[in-house]
Structure 1
């Protein structure tokens, strides 16, 4: 049997490779970089400060499924707060103590049935009420997406968590169990008091170690795929480093707007080229003391600062910073090549410190200097309404027989680590059926033609 080519050796790619290999199917993993892991990466400096490539949330259920529960520490607390009206309010219940937010949300809940939302702005107003939407939800959506909420599709709302009653139950469970119970971090699996946040000893890459070991002989590092060759509407080969390899199927984790450039022999994916991702910069700052933020994460919707979110991970995971010290990560939304993207790291750190000083007062005496600065051009998929119909078609199938697209970037979906894992596993059932032939293979082939 011709091998199944997998593009990328991050969480989704390794999950796909390990699953298919366990089924007895031949796989080749093409990884452009010098190491596996993708965005599941952690860094530790000489002073003992550790930070991740962006925010990642790992549940005990995911760690168990990946065979790494024995190396994971339990996270005992996790919480979020919002800066609104110059005051810190816990999310979600502190916000509901504000009468205008509570009354607006109640009015929205009790209002007569509305017409379907035409935009994310409409969705937020219908879900949270006018006051909370205008003061918090819409400014934050615009900050992380870089687009007006009126131009975003209502599907942006799919990324948000449970209703009030389920959130109340899960929040109470955190207090009663002394564990950071997951609340709104998966759509694929149920959340309950028994599903809580953990963190692997040695950093996020350790989470992937068992899968990486199982497929080590199948991974080709430093091997970017230059072309996915399609003939007669079906994938037949991939080309990497000038060498063409015949394949039975391709599983891609590449950003969807890159796929049209990779695929040769069909125009079925051309409409994906207009899909946008939001570039982000993560700036890490070191401080004396701990608990500078009101909780682990602080959302800043009011503007006036370079960042829209601050995260003090050591509040939840104290081992990420030396005792008596802390690390705060500032998230800056930007565009590749703009003034933020091109700003020197030292200047970015100073700008973020100035923004924090406006919120918390002078932190200069406690500031220990900048940690690492990380830039990524594909932090978040931006669900613009103008290509929402194309996005929905792509969510059903790629339109190319034998081609699957998985992972956060590959699905163009607002999903976190656990959903990436379970959704990839389910997609591999389709891949296995397709390459296996017979009635199930024909059914999977039909799935690949849906969007063609």
Structure 2
């Protein structure tokens, strides 16, 4: 094969795809629009020694090992979540289930289900899964703040995002106490979770996870080289256009948000429905404080629609090295829409309102420990929004892009509620399909379009890079 495979984007999914293609003996070129690699797997440190992550804080030891970065990672000893409700915080999930109304509602939903057949929407799914009280007071307010849409307008498929059942969660929580490690609980659906899969964090920040992968690519990366068009002829990818030049390719692996793909593809309308897909914009505000344990645990969910932020995270509770000794950092997640009041609000005002919320939840004395804002991050594309209006198209896209030789990977590229480890393993698996496609229709097991073949969720059939 003389024509390379074009990979769009140099984040975790794009670099993983290129490295796996190379391992399989297939030439790949990574086109990255920006000046650096990593995408959302990025961190920065300020002059005072506070570290900030742009993407996920938590990585499993299994993912670090697969990326060849286990040697630079520290073990995370503790991780926990709480829900602030009715003026006090309760541990999640077991502190919530100690509330009689939540427990009774959950039991009723199991013993006497209200309806048979699939749930009509996310609200219906939550009421069936948690009972009315938990759905109305906790689940629905959080999902609506996170997605920006009423639960009744969201697909029941949103349930795929949520954690394990009670028994599995109980086992993983017990394993964490016994092993004194932050055992992963609900961080992957592609691979099994157990006592030996726990959270770690790379020395020097998230981007260091990708250094071994980047080194393996040996010059296959083009920075500041956005792909302007994906050229399709008779339903098949034939070339990409970058910097005005047309480059013949045998296939394209895209990590671009799916609603961007219709604008990139030239010569086919197969992806036109994707233009309607929505991502939730988010604002992340970081505040610095003296002392530690501002929050009752690492992450606190706030299902109060009147509050600015629906999720507060104090990462130094789990990873003390992210803040100078005797100090801490609290991150506020704020759902918004591009151009609305929250999006256009100044950084100082956002910091003030976040501090007001924190003091209202945990006491006015926190103002005396406040050390100032640590920076605000705005991202117009954060979480995929599973609207019922395009659920049929979303499921169709999950099976195939509709264009031969075009594959879409990564959280934005798959339009899926998946975290870093799922992104990695699903991308590895998808490259098997790419290999079969470029081998031609006569090759054993060849795939004739951009579809994703089935794979076992226990991970037994997934390959791991050398």
TM score, norm. by length of structure 1: 0.98
- What's 1:5 paired with? 6
Q: Which residue pairs with 1:260 in the alignment?
A: 262
Contact map agreement 2:439 2:446 (CA 8 A) in 1: no
Match 1:376 to one of 375, 379, 386: 379
Aligned partner of 1:359 in structure 2 is 361
Helix, strand or coil at the partner of 2:240: strand
CA drift at 1:337: 1.0
Partner of 2:147: 145
Aligned length: 450
For 2:292, the equivalent position in structure 1 comes to 290
For the pair 1:60 / 2:61, whether they are aligned, the reply is yes
1:46 is matched with: 47
Can you list the C-alpha shifts for 1:396-424, whole angstroms capped at 9, x where unaligned?
A: 01000000000000000000000000000
Query: What does residue 331 of structure 2 align with?
Result: 329
Output one character per residue of 1:160-202: Cα deviation in whole Å (capped at 9) or x when no partner: 0100000000000101100000000000000000000000000
Cα distance, 1:439 vs. partner?
Answer: 3.1
Distance in 2 (CA, whole Å) between partners of 1:73 and 1:56 is: 12
Q: Is the 8 A contact 1:399 1:449 kept in 2?
A: no
1:30 and 2:31 matched: yes
Task: Tell me if the contact between 2:82 and 2:299 (Cα under 8 Å) persists in the aligned partners.
Answer: yes
Residue 56 of structure 1, CA deviation = 3.5
Moved more, 407-416 or 109-118: 109-118
Residue 437 of structure 2 contacts residue 449 of structure 2 at CA under 8 Å; is this kept in 1?
no
**Any idea what SS the aligned residue of 1:444 has?**
coil
Cα distance in 2 for partners of 1:259, 1:227 equals 9
1:275-326 deviation line (CA, Å, top 9, x unaligned): 0000000000000110010100000001322100000000000000011100
> Matches of 1:256 and 1:36 in 2, distance apart?
20
Which 4+ stretches in 1 moved above 4 angstroms? 446-450
Contact 1:288-1:366 within 8 A present in 2 as well: yes
Counterpart residue number, 2:166? 164
| Cα separation, 2, equivalents of 1:70 and 1:195 | 16
Q: Is the CA contact 1:280–1:378 (under 8 Å) kept in the aligned structure 2?
A: yes
Report the alpha carbon displacement of residue 45 of structure 1 after superposing the two structures with TM: 0.4
Determine the structure 2 residue equivalent to 1:94: 95
- Greater displacement, 157-166 / 299-308: 299-308
Q: Is the 8 A contact 1:57 1:416 kept in 2?
A: no
Kept in 1, the 8 Å contact 2:313–2:330? The answer is yes
> Greater CA deviation, 433-442 or 309-318?
433-442
Residue pairs, 1:180-195, within 5 angstroms: 180-195=182-197
Map 1:240-251 to 2 at 5 A.
240-251=242-253
Which one of the candidate residues 393, 411, 414 is aligned to 1:411? 414
- Superposed, 1:52-451 pairs within 5 Å as 52-112=53-113, 114-362=116-364, 363-440=366-443, 443-446=446-449, 448=451
In structure 2, distance between residues paired with 1:437 and 1:64? 33
Alpha-carbon distance change, 340 to 76 in structure 1, aligned in 2, over 3 angstroms: same
Conservation of the 8 A alpha-carbon contact between 2:405 and 2:449: no
Q: Cα distance, 1:237 vs. partner?
A: 0.4
Q: The residue matched to 2:178 in structure 1 has which SS?
A: helix
1:9-55 per-position Cα deviation (integer Å, ceiling 9, x unaligned): 00000000000011111111000000000000001001100010043
Range with greater deviation from structure 2 (405-414 or 214-223)? 214-223
Match of 2:462 in 1: none
Q: Quick one: structure 1 residues 161 and 196, their matched pair in 2 at CA, closer, same or farther if it must change by over 3 Å?
A: same
CA distance in 1, matches of 2:299, 2:319: 12
- Contact persistence 1:434–1:441 (CA under 8 A): no
SS at the partner of 2:82? strand
CA shift in 2, pair 1:293/1:229, >3 Å:
same
CA distance in 2, matches of 1:336, 1:139: 21
| Cα separation, 2, equivalents of 1:6 and 1:171 | 39
Aligned partners of 2:349, 2:247: CA distance in 1, in Å? 46
Residues 447 and 373 of structure 1, relative CA distance in 2, 3 Å threshold: closer
Q: Deviations over 1:117-137 (max 9, x none)?
A: 100000000011110000000
Q: CA deviation at 1:446?
A: 4.5
